[in-house]
Amino acid sequence: MMDTFPDSTRPDETEDPDEEVFINPDVTTLFRRWRNEKYAPEILPYDGPLIDNLCEITDFANEKIQEDLEGDESQDPNELDFVLRRIDLERVKYMLRDYLRIRLWKVTQYPQQYLEPAHSELLSSAERIFLRNYWDAKSEFLKFRLLGAMPVSKQKLDDKIDLLDMVRRPKLDSHVYVRVVKDVGRVEVPPTFTQESPTSAEPLDLGEGETWLLRYSVVRRFLIDPELDGTLELV
């Protein structure tokens, strides 16, 4: 079973929730998780502690803003400091929503893959429930409208004949832009086979601060392995 990412630091409950939104390092981590998820062709491990913590913080901050607005008649909602607090809160809420939306989109694109035990552990419990309900409804629809009229031997949705697989899967060899956050050292790049001639395997030295255009499969382990978390980021 794949390890989860390290637990996010819980905020001090005595601190101001508004200030936590501004300075909490979890927001920086969320930004990296969100951007990696956005550009990766597959679903990345779900960081439950981070998401739960930020949802709790944004709820507290939102309540505090409403209390300040309703409890102080002299509070001007157009005051710069007040506007900036709301903008910052909405920014975090947007990243949370979009992070989850992107993951659900990937689930609906490759449902059969993420029903497999080896891949379902990447999902949250809510995502697994959503996926099961989604695939039950879709497979039932396909059987009713199409597969029911075909021979029984042709009604499966997960057949695999030789190299032909009916299960749709992410393209792990698609190219992504990668920024090196920490020195990685030498990374082996497998050869590329083309109609003209194959390229030879060539090692690359990935240094801190560099940006590369590489196949996702080359850097995948840096995004999947929790021990390598934060070494690279997709941009």
**Per-residue pLDDT tens digits for 160-205:** 666 667 788 999 999 999 999 999 889 988 877 665 656 666 789 9
Name the residue with higher pLDDT: 118 or 196. 118
List, as one string, the DSSP characters of 87-119. HHHHHHHHHHHHHHHHHHHHHHHSHHHHHSHHH
Higher pLDDT, 72 or 184: 184
Please state, in angstroms and rounded to a whole number, the distance separating the CA atoms of residues 52 and 94. Answer: 15
Residue 98 is predicted with a pLDDT of 98
Closest to 51 (Cα-Cα) out of 41, 66, 65, 37: 37
Three-class SS state of 28: helix
Locate tokens 């560099």: which residue?
Answer: 210
Is pLDDT of 230 > 80?
yes
Cβ count within 10 A of residue 16: 13
Contact 235, 213 (CB under 8 A): no
Task: Give the whole-angstrom CA distance, residue 57 versus residue 67.
Answer: 15
Q: Which residues are CB-contacts of 55 (< 8 A; sequence separation ≥ 6)?
A: 96
* More reliable by pLDDT, 158 or 124: 124
Tokens coding 69: 């607005």
pTM value is 0.81
- Domain spans in the chain, listed from the N-terminal domain onward: 171-235
CB atoms within 10 A of CB 176: 21
- Determine the angle formed by the axes of helices 80-109 and 125-145, rounding to 10 degrees: 50
**Which CATH number applies to 171-235?**
3.40.5.60
Residue range 142-154: mean pLDDT, rounded? 69
